[in-house]
């Protein structure tokens, strides 16, 4: 499909206007020199979608539009204490006068830092379930939402219905934006690196890249899950997007992506020495900030992949997905 056709395809889905687009596509020459990469390295600054920004802005533009249109009167999201998604949801909630409830799998902190501090400043409603895993948290969130429903309210629980594939549409927008910038700003690259988490952001990027017949190859650096599990998640999420739009990708996603799980160390939020090095190196060469959970890990993986010539690239781009506030809870 052409970019115009892809644009028309996703234009049928409601969307709010929140972020500042296009986010910059910058050459990061100092960092590139520092890691000894002879080619051109770019960064897509999706850390600058809004304040504090990140990938969640693009997701929430679709989800909040859907929630508002459904006449819901409460937006509910189950997430960790330092969730970027939770904080951006609370920000949109304040902007659109839409009450938000965050359900955390942690105890209330004795001292508010990072995203939790921003949530506290906004006075967002929160339920703290204590130290439980993400699957138990999801079950408990369902129970809480059912109780709220039984009281006559109309809660919108993120994750229910079509909210996840809708959320991914924001990253089809990002791919269209990137392709447009590459042409207008004469910046070309063949490889895009991005972090691999729950798969919502990546599914949108994959779907956009697949519809446009692969303007670049995707390198997904897992921060949490093993390769096979992440691949299963991504296949499922892309299929959900295909079901929503009615348009299937012309080729299997395996041809569009390479997944790396060897840089995730001990898993989600467990940093490695290389993550810390990446955070310092990017800050000291470019004045750009990464954090330990997603972006630092992805950049450390990208560095190894380029330095060890696992990928023979002459040009590449890193998709900076944000997460700035959580940095303040990590050191
Ligand atoms: C800063 C940042 N980068 C990347 C991701 C990964 O996105 P996804 O969960 O859609 O895979 C997240 C998710 O929370 C995030 O906050």
Of 70, 136, 73, 72, nearest in space to 103 by CA: 136
Q: How many A from CA of 143 to the centre of ligand 1?
A: 25
Q: What percent of the chain has pLDDT over 90?
A: 96
Band of residue 218 on the pLDDT scale cut at 50, 70, 90: very high
The length of the chain is 331
Q: Is the pLDDT of residue 257 over 90?
A: yes
Give pLDDT, residue 269: 84
How do residues 196-213 score in pLDDT, each as one tens digit?
999 999 999 999 999 999
What does the pLDDT read at residue 243? 97
* Domains defined for the chain, CATH in brackets: 3-54+163-327 (3.40.50.1100), 56-157 (3.40.50.1100)
Residue at token pair 């059912």? 146
CA distance 60 to 32: 32
Contact (Cβ atoms closer than 8 angstroms) between residue 38 and residue 66: no
Minimum-distance ligand 1 atom for the alpha carbon of 195: 4
Checking if the pLDDT of 268 tops 90, the result is: no
pLDDT reading at 81 higher than 90: yes
Q: Dihedrals φ, ψ of 214, to 5°?
A: 60, 70
Does the pLDDT of residue 305 top 90, yes or no?
A: yes
Q: Are 326 and 296 in contact (CB under 8 A)?
A: no
Pocket of ligand 1 (CB under 6 A): 54-55, 84-85, 195, 197-202, 294-295, 321-323
Best residue among 60, 63, 84 to mutate for probing ligand 1's pocket (most ligand atoms within 8 Å of CB) is 84
On average, the pLDDT of the chain sits at 97
Instruction: Answer for the pair 285, 34: CB distance below 8 angstroms, yes or no.
Output: yes
Which residue has the least CA distance to atom 9 on ligand 1? 198
pLDDT of residue 267: 84
User: Average of pLDDT values for 314-329?
Assistant: 96
DSSP 121-164: HHT-EEEE--S--HHHHHHHHHHHHHHHHHTT--EEEBTBTTHH
For strand 25-27 and strand 40-45, is the pairing parallel, antiparallel, or unpaired? antiparallel
Q: What is the tens place of the pLDDT at every residue in 30-68?
A: 999 999 999 999 999 999 999 999 999 999 999 999 999
Residue 151 alpha carbon to ligand 1 centre in Å = 33
CA distances from 47 to 53, 54, 224, 318, 321 (A): 5, 4, 20, 11, 5
Using CA positions, which residue lies closest to atom 11 of ligand 1?
Answer: 197
**Segment 114-146, tens digit of pLDDT:** 999 999 999 999 999 999 999 999 999 999 999
């Amino acid at each position: 499909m052409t970019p115009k056709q892809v644009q028309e395809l996703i234009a049928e889905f409601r969307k709010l206007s929140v972020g500042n687009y296009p986010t910059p596509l910058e050459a990061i020459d100092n960092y590139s020199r520092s890691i000894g990469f002879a080619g051109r390295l770019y960064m897509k600054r999706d850390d600058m979608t809004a304040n504090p920004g990140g990938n969640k802005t693009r997701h929430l533009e679709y989800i909040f539009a859907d929630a508002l249109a459904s006449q819901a009167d409460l937006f509910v999201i189950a997430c960790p204490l330092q969730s970027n998604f939770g904080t951006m949801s609370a920000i949109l909630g304040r902007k659109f006068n839409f009450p938000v409830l965050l359900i955390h799998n942690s105890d209330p902190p004795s001292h508010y830092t990072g995203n939790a501090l921003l949530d506290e400043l906004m006075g967002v409603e929160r339920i703290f379930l204590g130290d439980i895993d993400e699957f138990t948290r999801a079950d408990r969130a369902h129970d809480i939402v059912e109780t709220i429903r039984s009281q006559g309210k109309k809660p919108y629980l993120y994750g229910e219905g079509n909210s996840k594939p809708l959320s991914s549409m924001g990253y089809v927008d990002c791919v269209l934006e990137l392709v447009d910038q590459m042409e207008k700003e004469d910046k070309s690259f063949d490889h895009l690196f991005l972090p691999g988490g729950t798969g919502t952001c990546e599914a949108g990027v994959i779907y956009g890249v697949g519809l446009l017949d692969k303007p670049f190859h995707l390198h997904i650096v897992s921060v949490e899950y093993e390769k096979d599990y992440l691949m299963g998640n991504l296949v499922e999420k892309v299929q959900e997007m295909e079901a929503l739009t009615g348009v299937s990708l012309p080729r299997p996603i395996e041809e569009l992506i390479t997944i790396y799980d060897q840089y995730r160390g001990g898993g989600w939020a467990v940093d490695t020495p290389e993550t810390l090095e990446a955070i310092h190196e990017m800050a000291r060469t470019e004045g750009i900030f990464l954090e330990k959970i997603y972006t630092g890990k992805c950049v450390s993986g990208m560095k190894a992949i380029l330095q060890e010539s696992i990928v023979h690239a002459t040009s590449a781009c890193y998709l900076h997905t944000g997460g700035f506030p959580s940095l303040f809870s990590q050191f």
